[in-house]
Every structure is written in C-alpha cells, then in structure tokens.
A and B are shown apart, each in its own frame.
Chain A
C-alpha cells in the first residue's frame, strides 16, 4: 500500500486484502466495520478502528459487567458527583468550592517489555487524564506487583519500574504519597504497574472532553508526534505474551517529563484564561482516540487536516500518525475568537500548538491528508460502538479443592516461637521496609504533603488557608482474590477504605484498576464478574460510588493467569490535615488499644504465604457494616483530637501492626493481649497473626482521651480492648515475645536493599 488509500480509492477497490488480523481485529469485527461504512475501510480508518476497538480502549470484554458500576448512586457522602464514570476521571465535591478528581490506571504490559519507559509513561498518562478534567494534579501513587523477589527477572523489572516512576514523577513536581509493592510468583511474567493521580479544581473550572460549538477550532498542542508507541494499544495491551514470540519493544512509548511539566503549567494557564471549551488528553490510541471521542461527545462532527500535525519523524504515514502514542500531547477545542489568546499562552510556555481543524455538525469525523479524504466515519462508531462481548464465564473447577486446603494443615508456632516468627515476617518480601523504593520518589514537592509512605494513606492539603485536604490509599490482596474473587474485591475495598478512615479522613469515592488474566478463559471471566459484583455490592453498602478506573486483561503467560487483582483506591476528605493521624507510637506512657474483633482467620494471609508458601482456604470474613462503624469512630475521634496514632490491621495482622508502630519513631510498647483473647475466644498466636478485617491499633493521649474514645466506640458498636502502654525500647507481648526495637529494625530494614541496591 504505497499509494494513499483515500475514501474514493476504498470505494473503488472493495476487494483489497487488508491486514485486519495483524492489527488485532477479529474477522467479525472487520465485517462490522465494512457494514458501518458501507464499503471497506481505508487503511487509515482500519488503523483507527483497530486501536479503538482493542480490548484496552473499547472494554469489549468487560463492558457488560462494568455497566453495573453505573447502578450505584452517583453520590458521595458529601453529595452528587460532579462528573462520573465515563469521563476521563470522576470528579467529586469535597466542600468549600473545591472538587477533586482521581483515577488509577494500568501500564502493566509496557512495563514488562521496557520497565523504565513503561512505568514512566504510565505516570504521564494518568496525569494527563487528570489534567483533562481541568484539574491541577497534586499527587501520585503507584501500586506495584512483581514476581518473586529473588527471581532474576524481578531484578530487571523492579529497579527499572521504580526508576521510571521516579524519573518521570520527580521531574513533574508531583509528590508520590503512597502505593504498594507486592511480590508473588503469579506476577512473574506479568508485573502490575498501576498508577494513580489526584487532582484538584474549583467547581467552576471543570472541563469535559467534548467538541462542541460548530466552527470551534481543534488544536493539538504539546510534543511533536513520532513513531513511538505505534500499535501499543492493540498489539501490546490486548494480547497475551507468548513464550518465544517476537520482541514487542518498538510498541512502547517514550516519555519526556520535562515536556509534561511544561504542558501541565501551560494547561492550567489556558484554563485560568478561559480559552478552552473542550479538552482531551492523548494517551492510548493517540489521535484516533482524541478525535473520535471528542467528536462523538460534542456536536458529532469534526474536520481534521492530518498533514498539519507537527512530526518528529517526517517519514510517518497517515495511519501511523493516527495510531502514534507519542506522549505529552493534548487536544483542545477553542472558540475562533480565542485562538489568538490560546496561542499567546502556549508561546509563553514554548509549547507548540497547531490548529488541525474544526468542529462541524456533519455527524462525521472527516480526516484529510494533503486535501484528500482518508477518513470519513461516524465518530461514535469508532469511540463507543465497538464490539461488546458476552464472554462465557464459569466457576473454575479447581476452586473447591483450593478452598478446602485451609491453613489448618499448617503447624502454628508456639507462643515462645512468635519472636522469631515476627522477625521472619518483618524481613519477608511483602512486609519489609519499603524505603529503598519510596526514597527514590519525591514526597515533599508542592509543600502540601501531610502524610506519605509508609503511612496507611497518603494525605495532601488542598486549601492552604483552611487546611482542607484529601487522603488516598490503594490496596489489594490478590491471594484473597484467588480464594474468592467476590470477597477478595470487597476486602481490597475494605482495606483501602479503612486506611483512609484511619488517617482521619471521611471516605468519599472509589477508583479501581481491575487486573486480570485472559478474558477468553471462562475461569478468569468468572473471577472478573465476581470481583465486579463484589465491588458494586460493597460500594453500595459503604455508600460510596466508583467514579472511574481501568481494566487490564491478558495479564497471563500461557495458561497461567495472575491472581485476580482488583486494586482499589479510596479517596477521603479531611477538614484540616493538621488533625490527621498516622501510624507510629509517638510518645511513651500512652494507652494502646485494639479496635475491632479478632477471629481465627489466617487463610490467605502473610504468615501462610511468607513462611509456608501456602495458599488455600477462605479469606477473612467481610463485614462492611463493621468497617463503616470503625470509620465513623475514626472520623469522630480525629475531630475530637484524642488519637496520637492509628494503624490499620491488615497484612501480617496485629504482630506486624505493633512492630511497625514501634519502628516508626522508635518508641516501644508493652502489650498484654489477655483482655482481647478472653473477649474474642482465641489464643495469643492467632490474635497476633490473624488478618481479620475492620480492626486497627491506636494510641490515645491520656485517660481522658481514652474515655472519649471508649464512648465513641460504644456508640458505634465497635469492640475495643486496652492491650498495653507505649514506652521503652522494646516490643513486649506478655508470655509471647520480647524484642529490642533495634532488632526489629534490623530485620525490617535490609531486604529490598539486599536484593536490588
């Protein structure tokens, strides 16, 4: 196909053989394109449909299930959402005229192929999504999952991913305030690199992605378009990696954080000047996505002169320009009278901006190349009317055996062995000190960070006058998902919700990144359906909406899928971040309390995983009413100012929570579990290792504060046990363990450095 494949040419040559299969389209999908157009597509149109109808862009396998998120009321505990699921990112009201937008996305496959650039452009992409809502990005977080810590390929992937996140995010000037680092064999060939961004805006500054106003100009601005990332969407994100397949490196995009930083400042100045009618970021599927989505959300028509696109590589063909995923680009819709002001601002920031065309009411997206029409399509058919699959799903037959294989088969330690067990757990991959990674991220820039790693939730100030701020956490235990995907999703939600509440913020909304294996496997599809159902039911119970997110399928190598990993991000609001509390015993002589009920629940937990390599049984019981009650206690207790520290109980249970609490500031504690053991009818080892939900360990300032907290706990029906007092330089648990804080620190500190430094 050396000659230009125009619409006229396509009409004249219906029988031309087209490479639809190489572009990732199925035969029936190609036929549908021909039906929609009433002719064969031009090569440019084929390129557009192929990227936009890919799994990554069209959600064709997940759509029928994701619709369920729409059943949730579009309301947070503070009122109606300002923009919901379906926009680039949901926008919620946090009061005082402020709104917040946040979203988590995957960049899994590119990060496996090229860890540095994959992770870097993952950050860049989510940041542009947030900018496209009219918001200033204020923080990022990165939930990461890798294969075994000692696998040679993890030594390739992890340092590159971390360097990419740091290299890009640090240059953007966005504080990195949290995330996760999880190691599990199941992610060996499929690391999960998810990226979350939070942005803020005044209510009146909300910008939506739509091309409205006939005659308005369509402007492409930011970086030049190059050959990077071509076909990234269709080839990379939507096919399973097969062993021995061709290398896919050329399809990964290359990022330039400097260009993105300038683009952020430039966009914010454009918004402030009121010269932008509609805005869309260019991410996956590049110009194909931006033009078709903008047009179909607006008046329905757009005319674009593709040869005006500034190029880094002049040899690029029209099809490649449409598919390029070059980074750091945005597309704006601007009234003709404001184009000059728009250009003045882009000039000020040395950002290249080009008028590509204009909004029409033709109902068609028409793209020309040097005057000849190469695309003439109904934009909705590209952006929204992609195929929808009702993939078969079935409960896997291995699940019963897995659930029957509980931790009862494992020998639990004697109480006197718990000291060593704790040291082993503290040094284990998923519980060890994360600072070797997190110290590579700037957590201070912008000057509003009230809490960051290793805090349960990151917290940033939004309003410098009033102290109004937000807290965000992301969580997921994929092992729980493997044992029971419905419960696993709800447990991820519960933990994230709890982490936000523990910091003192009122949880408001959810974003999710649903990482799964191949949707063509009915067992994976069943896991997906169950996880979505769990999230929808869970959010309904907690009274918070899902405002946006992302699905990543095909995280599997050969027949082996990753654990179902629905990463859940929860965002909460706090009136004054100065009142927020964090984990870590702050001073000696303060009462230590455990909130919540502890049951014998070790299945799927870190003790079984890290020390026994065991996965089986059923995950801890989900009790969202208890989570909600616990959150209410925290929000009230933090407002009353009675807490001096708070730490949620999750991975590794009470043993790890206590150890982390003494490690934070080096303030020890003496603990006697007797009151808790009697009340809950369990033994000390179980109490220390169980991963029962809806629990936290807290300290209070004094006896008066304790009385206030006890009153709140009683009012909300949350069990509370006084288990000890802070002080000294040891962690003592009566009749169980007695260790110097320094020894705990030694165990905790070195693991990541040893493997990756």
Chain B
C-alpha cells in the first residue's frame, strides 16, 4: 500500500504526513511538485503548509503544479486523495472539492487541540470511525474559514458530504461548523485539522489521526 505525499516549496507537514503513513502500516512515497508523476501510488496526501508562500491566495498557485495535473486525473479515476489544511485549500482551488477557504474570522493564526464530530464514515479516509464519534485533532491555520454559497452548503449536507464538524467554539468562523468535506464519490476528502499530528503517543493530543490512514489502507488492500 503506497501512499504518496506531495511536497511543494513551502510544504511544512510533508515529513509528518509521511511518518504518519509509515506508522499506520503504509509505505509513504515522496512526490515532488515539479514531477508530473505519481510513482505508482495507491493514494495521495496533500499536506499542510504554505505552498508557494500562500501568495495570491492559499493553494492558488499549487493547483497549477505539474504534480497536481496528475492528482486531478487520478482523483477523477477514483484514487483516494486527502488534503490537509493547505492541502484542503489546494483541493478546493483544483475544484476537486467545492467551496473555498478564507482567513479565520478572528484574523489570527490559531493552534489548538480541536474536538470534532465525525459526520460521515462513508469515505475512503473515515471508514474506521464511528458515525457521530467525537475525536480530537490538532488544528492550526491562518486561512481556515470554510465558505461556500447556501445551495452548495445545502447540497453538501443533503448528500452527506460533510465529513467533520467542529465541536465547541467554532475556531475560525467556518460556515455551518464544517471542518472537512468529501466529493460525491467519497474518495477525495479535505479537512482543516491535522490528523498527521495525532498518530504517536506523547507527540500530540490523541491517536485519533491514525484512523484516517488505516481507513484508506484497509480500503485499498481489500479492494
């Protein structure tokens, strides 16, 4: 089970995502932004960070990197793709997921241990959670406010495509407390919090991040 992790200039959590994949039983594969080559991986993680310095708009430049052309093509063919934080922003910019991310409503960066509710287990990355389960995942972002127009939000909710919601005080003003969403097929998932920081005892507030990776590994192995 090979999971690719993309590195853009300015990616920050790429090493952490690779570590998380390996700790959870997968084999991580480094993917380079300039290479239009997914190196035969079975799934892709687009990690957090400030790719291209978030210039223009978070994710706006990365979306045009050669590797993204391949990711978009593979996603259309059903390959599981997880976008974390900046990765979520890139997936929105790539139109693999609807909506957009703008600056947190309080206009400051926020780093905290965030409680989430699992709203959908019907995705490639969440099958090992319980529906409605409360989990704690590290949240850290500057541009984490998920926004979309009302019909889009209604459609996401109506189709069960909200994957995670924030619990407690909404940390960034995201509409309808949405922390993560999925595409129609349930293979592409984007979320603001960072599961790769919740995979090791003593290095994060929980181990809840592990099941993102074990979910996709199980899915691909059993497919």
User: Which residues of A approach B to under 8 Å, CB–CB?
Assistant: 163, 166-167, 170-173, 256-259, 261-262, 265, 349-350, 439-450, 461, 464, 577-578, 757
- Contact indicator per residue, chain B 122-161, by CB within 8 Å of chain A (1) or not (0): 0000000000000000101010000000000000000000
In the assembled complex, which residues on chain A have CB atoms less than 8 Å from the CB atom of B204? Answer: 444, 447
Q: 25 A-B contacts, Cβ less than 8 Å apart?
A: A170-B50, A170-B109, A170-B140, A172-B12, A173-B13, A257-B53, A258-B54, A261-B10, A261-B12, A262-B10, A349-B9, A439-B110, A439-B112, A440-B110, A441-B109, A443-B111, A444-B111, A444-B204, A445-B16, A447-B15, A447-B197, A450-B203, A461-B203, A577-B202, A578-B202
Q: Which residue of B lies closest to A159 (CB)?
A: B108
Q: Is B27 an interface residue (CB 8 A)?
A: no
Minimum CB–CB distance for A348 against chain B, Å: 8
Q: List residues of B (35-51) whose CB comes within 8 Å of A's CBs.
A: 49-50
The 10 closest A-B pairs by CB, nearest first: A258-B53, A173-B12, A447-B16, A444-B197, A171-B50, A166-B109, A440-B109, A442-B140, A262-B9, A444-B138
In the assembled complex, the Cα of A167 lies from the Cα of B138 at a distance in Å of 18
Minimum CB–CB distance for A614 against chain B, Å: 35
Q: Are B10 and A448 in contact (CB under 8 A)?
A: no
Q: Are A447 and B203 in contact (CB under 8 A)?
A: yes
Q: Is B218 an interface residue (CB 8 A)?
A: no
Q: Which residue of B lies closest to A266 (CB)?
A: B9
Extra 8 A-B pairs, beta carbons < 8 Å, given A167-B109, A461-B203: A257-B50, A258-B52, A258-B53, A439-B112, A444-B140, A445-B140, A447-B15, A450-B202
In the assembled complex, which residues on chain B have CB atoms less than 8 Å from the CB atom of A349? Answer: 9
Per a CB cutoff under 8 Å, which of A171, A447, A448 touches B196? Answer: A447
Q: Are B203 and A258 in contact (CB under 8 A)?
A: no
Q: List residues of B (180-219) whose CB comes within 8 Å of A's CBs.
A: 194, 196-197, 200-204
Q: Which residue of A lies closest to B51 (CB)?
A: A258
In the assembled complex, which residues on chain A have CB atoms less than 8 Å from the CB atom of B12? Answer: 171-173, 261, 445
Most A C-beta atoms less than 10 A away, residue of B49, B50, B202: B202
In the assembled complex, which residues on chain B have CB atoms less than 8 Å from the CB atom of A261? Answer: 9-10, 12, 50
Q: Known: A257-B53, A258-B52, A350-B9. Contact between A446 and B15, CB under 8 A? A: yes
In the assembled complex, the Cα of A261 lies from the Cα of B142 at a distance in Å of 17
Minimum CB–CB distance for B12 against chain A, Å: 3
Q: Is B95 an interface residue (CB 8 A)?
A: no
Q: List residues of B (1-55) whose CB comes within 8 Å of A's CBs.
A: 9-10, 12-13, 15-16, 19-20, 49-50, 52-55
Minimum CB–CB distance for A436 against chain B, Å: 9
User: Which residues of B approach A to under 8 Å, CB–CB?
Assistant: 9-10, 12-13, 15-16, 19-20, 49-50, 52-55, 106, 108-112, 138, 140, 142, 194, 196-197, 200-204
In the assembled complex, the Cα of A647 lies from the Cα of B109 at a distance in Å of 29
Q: Are A447 and B111 in contact (CB under 8 A)?
A: no
Q: Known: A448-B203, A578-B201, A578-B202. Contact between A171 and B53, CB under 8 A? A: yes
Q: Are A440 and B108 in contact (CB under 8 A)?
A: yes
Most A C-beta atoms less than 10 A away, residue of B13, B49, B109: B109
Q: Are B10 and A258 in contact (CB under 8 A)?
A: yes
Q: Which residue of B lies closest to A173 (CB)?
A: B12
In the assembled complex, the Cα of A259 lies from the Cα of B13 at a distance in Å of 17
Q: Which residue of B lies closest to A447 (CB)?
A: B16
Q: Are B53 and A446 in contact (CB under 8 A)?
A: no
In the assembled complex, the Cα of A257 lies from the Cα of B109 at a distance in Å of 15
In the assembled complex, the Cα of A350 lies from the Cα of B51 at a distance in Å of 13
Per a CB cutoff under 8 Å, which of B13, B54, B142 touches A445? Answer: B13
In the assembled complex, which residues on chain A have CB atoms less than 8 Å from the CB atom of B54? Answer: 171, 258
Q: Are A439 and B50 in contact (CB under 8 A)?
A: no
In the assembled complex, which residues on chain B have CB atoms less than 8 Å from the CB atom of A256? Answer: 53
Minimum CB–CB distance for B24 against chain A, Å: 13
In the assembled complex, which residues on chain B have CB atoms less than 8 Å from the CB atom of A442? Answer: 109, 111, 140
In the assembled complex, the Cα of A265 lies from the Cα of B54 at a distance in Å of 18
Minimum CB–CB distance for A142 against chain B, Å: 14
Minimum CB–CB distance for B203 against chain A, Å: 6
In the assembled complex, which residues on chain A have CB atoms less than 8 Å from the CB atom of B109? Answer: 163, 166-167, 170, 440-442
In the assembled complex, which residues on chain B have CB atoms less than 8 Å from the CB atom of A757? Answer: 106
In the assembled complex, which residues on chain A have CB atoms less than 8 Å from the CB atom of B10? Answer: 171, 258, 261-262
In the assembled complex, the Cα of A525 lies from the Cα of B53 at a distance in Å of 44
Most A C-beta atoms less than 10 A away, residue of B49, B52, B108, B138: B108
Minimum CB–CB distance for B151 against chain A, Å: 34
In the assembled complex, the Cα of A439 lies from the Cα of B106 at a distance in Å of 13
In the assembled complex, the Cα of A88 lies from the Cα of B10 at a distance in Å of 25
In the assembled complex, the Cα of A96 lies from the Cα of B9 at a distance in Å of 31
In the assembled complex, which residues on chain B have CB atoms less than 8 Å from the CB atom of A259? Answer: 53
Minimum CB–CB distance for B109 against chain A, Å: 5
In the assembled complex, the Cα of A446 lies from the Cα of B15 at a distance in Å of 7
Minimum CB–CB distance for B168 against chain A, Å: 14
In the assembled complex, the Cα of A240 lies from the Cα of B201 at a distance in Å of 50
In the assembled complex, which residues on chain A have CB atoms less than 8 Å from the CB atom of B197? Answer: 444, 447
In the assembled complex, the Cα of A447 lies from the Cα of B140 at a distance in Å of 13
In the assembled complex, which residues on chain B have CB atoms less than 8 Å from the CB atom of A448? Answer: 203
Per a CB cutoff under 8 Å, which of B13, B55, B142, B194 touches A258? Answer: B55
In the assembled complex, the Cα of A440 lies from the Cα of B110 at a distance in Å of 5
Minimum CB–CB distance for A529 against chain B, Å: 41
Minimum CB–CB distance for B158 against chain A, Å: 34
In the assembled complex, which residues on chain B have CB atoms less than 8 Å from the CB atom of A350? Answer: 9
Minimum CB–CB distance for A461 against chain B, Å: 7
Most A C-beta atoms less than 10 A away, residue of B106, B138, B197, B204: B197
In the assembled complex, which residues on chain A have CB atoms less than 8 Å from the CB atom of B52? Answer: 258
Q: Are A444 and B194 in contact (CB under 8 A)?
A: yes
Minimum CB–CB distance for A71 against chain B, Å: 40
Minimum CB–CB distance for A433 against chain B, Å: 13
Q: Are B50 and A258 in contact (CB under 8 A)?
A: yes
In the assembled complex, which residues on chain B have CB atoms less than 8 Å from the CB atom of A577? Answer: 202
Q: Which residue of A lies closest to B140 (CB)?
A: A442
Minimum CB–CB distance for A170 against chain B, Å: 6
In the assembled complex, the Cα of A448 lies from the Cα of B203 at a distance in Å of 6
In the assembled complex, the Cα of A449 lies from the Cα of B203 at a distance in Å of 6
In the assembled complex, the Cα of A166 lies from the Cα of B20 at a distance in Å of 25
Q: Which residue of A lies closest to B32 (CB)?
A: A348
Q: Are A447 and B200 in contact (CB under 8 A)?
A: yes
In the assembled complex, the Cα of A257 lies from the Cα of B197 at a distance in Å of 22
Minimum CB–CB distance for A717 against chain B, Å: 32
Minimum CB–CB distance for B51 against chain A, Å: 9
Minimum CB–CB distance for A755 against chain B, Å: 14
In the assembled complex, the Cα of A171 lies from the Cα of B111 at a distance in Å of 13
In the assembled complex, which residues on chain A have CB atoms less than 8 Å from the CB atom of B13? Answer: 173, 445, 447
Minimum CB–CB distance for B59 against chain A, Å: 14
Minimum CB–CB distance for B50 against chain A, Å: 5
Q: Are B111 and A439 in contact (CB under 8 A)?
A: yes
In the assembled complex, the Cα of A444 lies from the Cα of B111 at a distance in Å of 8
